Structure 1
Amino acid sequence: MNSSPISIVLADDEHLIRGALAALLDLEDDFAVVAEVDNGTDALAAAHQHGPTVCVLDLEMPPTDGVDTAWNILREIDTHIVMVTRHARPGVLRRALAAGVKGFVPKSTPSEKLAEVIRTVAGGARYVDPEIAASALTGTDCPLSERELDVLRATTEHDTLAQTAQELHLAAGTVRNYVSSAIAKLGVSSRQQAAQKAWEEGWI
């Protein structure tokens, strides 16, 4: 008796990679790529529309990164997430696992191996690339508070602290204090450098 195919929503903002990956996955008899999109917003919409078994998400795509997209999808839809990334920063894996992501692999993963990972995740198990896992174990612990991370995350989307304060419903002075504290803890000289450092470490 034939079982239903593993339905897949594929999200990657690099069109050539997305198209090639979709074509390769469609060669698998037990897979059906039901949607291809290039951003997190459309990935959420496609997940709502198709209710896929697995969503394969690129880590770095607009308007938010793949981890935030995973949070949004898993909060609303019963599915499984495989994250693929070109740059596996240690803190990102921790964020992804906390979000409920079940698979985490580099983009250099051969299509045959990715197919195995998708089957593993579809079956309810977890797979993390060993090199990414080892890197995460040796990564730097985040010295920032959750509120400091929220502020730095918001500053990457706004030009001024006033805009950040408005988004977070905080006083401008309070935001300034959080930014100053983050700058001091990270040993940098500006909020832009603090946000960049936090991003590079995968904390935001």
Structure 2
Amino acid sequence: MIRIAIAEDQKLLRDTLVKLLKMEDDIEVVCQSGDGQEALDAIRRLNPDVCLLDIELPLLSGLEIARLLRSEGHPARLIMVTTFARAGYLQQATELKVEGYLLKDEPIDDVLEAIRKVAKTGERVVSKELAAALFAREAAPLTERELDVLRLSHRGFTTDEIAGQLHLTVGTVRNYLSLGIQKLGVQTRQQATDKARENGWL
């Protein structure tokens, strides 16, 4: 029996997926979550075999969940699911060595095949369209620290709070934000965050 956790913030899509998976004799859905923090807590508690994670979740993204689980040495195999073929997201997922990366509009038979293949062999499964996007990837022009600052800004932290989180001075955080805005050719912090997200760098 393959024990699976699902993290998807669109309730209709999540309910449909759960219903379809429950029809399979060899798959058991052990938890379903609408936000990243709830999903992470459930995965840590229930130790599923496979986690099906939407990349763009509230509170914690699918990639952030993957990063935390990998750093903790959690044995679950991870399949990322996304609406858009963003090469930056795929690159991050590849660096995290996730086992699967699928588009949300994949046929259910393909999703089931991916789940079984990942669970049984650990073989990596990537949508053809997403694999093609990897080769067209545009490299992020920002440093890792500039991305850290934008990531926290996107999550709603103020400049003072970002400074506290990253153990930096407020002036240094402002400098990182200013550099990020300049490098991305935009006018505001929000525009910089939006552009970085659109390219899959956050």
Instruction: Tell me whether the two structures share a fold, i.e. TM-score over 0.5.
Output: yes
- The aligned counterpart of 1:187 is 185
Deviations 1:3-23 (A, max 9, x none): xx1111111111111111111
Per-residue CA shift, 1:150-183, capped at 9, x if unaligned?
Answer: 1111111236322322221111111121112112
1:17 matched to which residue of 2? 13
Cα distance in 2 for partners of 1:106, 1:182 equals 29
Whether contact under 8 Å (1:58, 1:84) holds in the other structure is yes
- CA–CA distance in structure 2, aligned partners of residues 36 and 155 of structure 1: 28
Q: Which runs of 5+ in 2 are unaligned?
A: none
Q: Which runs of 4+ in 1 moved over 4 A?
A: none
From 65, 88, 95, give the equivalent of 1:98: 95
How do 1:102-181 residues align onto structure 2 when only pairs under 5 Å count?
102-122=99-119, 123-158=121-156, 160-181=158-179
The superposition leaves residues 53-109 of structure 1 with CA deviations (integer Å, 9 ceiling, x where unpaired) of 101111111111110011223333211011111123210111112223110101101
In the other structure, the counterpart of 2:45 is: 49
| Secondary structure, counterpart of 1:189 in structure 2 | coil
State the alpha-carbon separation in 2 of the partners of residues 20 and 81 from structure 1.
20
Deviation per CA, 1:16-67: give whole Å up to 9, x if none: 1111111111222221111112121221222222221101111111111110
The answer as to whether partners of 1:103 and 1:121 remain within 8 angstroms in 2 is yes
Q: Does the CA contact (< 8 Å) of 1:94 and 1:136 recur in 2?
A: yes
SS of residue paired to 1:192: helix
Q: TM-score, normalised by structure 2?
A: 0.93
Paired residues in the alignment total: 200
* Structure-1-length-normalised TM-score: 0.92
After superposition, the CA RMSD in angstroms is 1.4
Unaligned runs of 5+ residues in structure 1 are none
CA distance in 1, matches of 2:45, 2:184: 43
The separation in 2 between residues aligned to 1:175 and 1:62, in whole angstroms, is: 24
